[in-house]
Chain A
Amino acid sequence: MGYLIDILVGVVSAIVTGELRAHVKPFARWIIERAVRRLSLADRERFREEWLAHLEETPGILRKIWHVFGCYLCAAKLSKIRARYSERIVRPEKVVTFAEWLGGLARYYASNTNTTRFADLPPEELTAIERVLTAKLRELTEDELKLVLRIGMKYSPTLARLYAHLFETSEQPKQPHDQQPAL
Chain B
Amino acid sequence: MNEDVRLTERGLRVLRFMIEEPRASRSGAEIAKTTKIGSGTLYPLLARLEAAGWFTSEWEDVDPHEAGRPRRRLYRLTGVGQRRAREALSGLQLGTGVPSWAT
Chain A residues within CB distance 8 Å of chain B: 46-47, 49-54, 56-58, 66-71, 73-74, 77-78, 81-82, 84-85, 88-89
| Residue from A49, A70, A84 within 8 A of B40 (CB atoms) | A70
Distance from B43 Cβ to chain A, minimum over Cβ atoms (Å): 5
Are B73 and A49 within 8 A (Cβ)? yes
Candidates B1, B28, B44, B48; contact of A54 at CB < 8 Å: B28
Contact between A71 and B44 (Cβ–Cβ < 8 Å)? Answer: no
For A66, list chain B residues within 8 Å (CB): 38-39
- The 0/1 profile, CB within 8 Å of A marked 1, for residues 40-84 of chain B is 111110011011000000010000100001111100000000000
Q: Which residue of B lies closest to A58 (CB)?
A: B29
List residues of chain B with CB within 8 A of the CB of A88.
1, 51
Q: DSSP majority for the B interface?
A: helix
Given contacts A54-B29, A57-B29, A77-B44, contact A70 B38 (CB under 8 A): yes
- Residue numbers in B under 8 Å from A78 (CB-CB): 43-44, 47
How many residues on the B side are at the interface (Cβ–Cβ under 8 A)? 25
Q: How far is the CB of B18 from chain A (nearest CB, A)?
A: 17
Q: How far is the CB of B24 from chain A (nearest CB, A)?
A: 16
Residues in A with CB closer than 8 Å to B69 are 53, 56
Which of A46, A52, A74 has the most C-beta atoms of chain B within 10 angstroms of its own C-beta? A74
Closest chain A residue to B39 by CB distance?
Answer: A70
Which residues of the other chain, A, contact B44 by a CB distance below 8 angstroms? 74, 77-78, 81
Partner of A52 from the list B30, B40, B42, B70 (CB cut-off 8 Å) is B70
Can you give 12 A-B contacts (C-beta < 8 A)?
A49-B71, A50-B28, A54-B28, A57-B72, A67-B39, A70-B40, A70-B42, A77-B44, A81-B44, A82-B51, A85-B50, A85-B51
